Amino acid sequence: MSLASDLLKNFEPQIESLTLVPSDGGRFEVSVNGNLLYSKLQTGRHAEPGEVVRLVRNFIERGE
């Protein structure tokens, strides 16, 4: 299952918009409702398995 499918399967009712931005040059960013939750450029590494889903879950639980 792709990351986008996994996120939408788990969080579709809570998410107004989901943006995954892959591109060449090492950029991979995940934003939810306009909030940047993960950036490969900022961390300098690939996301660990389950890390992005956990970040989204934490974001939703905080009620942002």
Instruction: Write out pLDDT tens, residues 13-37.
Output: 887 777 766 677 777 888 888 899 9
Number of domains observed in the structure of the chain: 1
Q: What is the pTM of this model?
A: 0.76
Q: Which CATH number belongs to the domain containing residue 38 in this structure? A: 3.40.30.10
| pLDDT at residue 26, as a whole number | 75
State pLDDT tens for residues 34-60: 899 999 989 999 999 889 999 999 998
Q: Read off φ and ψ for residue 22, nearest 5 degrees.
A: -90, 145
- Inter-residue contact 16 to 33 (CB < 8 Å): yes
Q: Which domain holds residue 23?
A: 3-61
The backbone torsions φ and ψ at residue 6, rounded to the nearest 5 degrees and listed phi first, read -65, -45
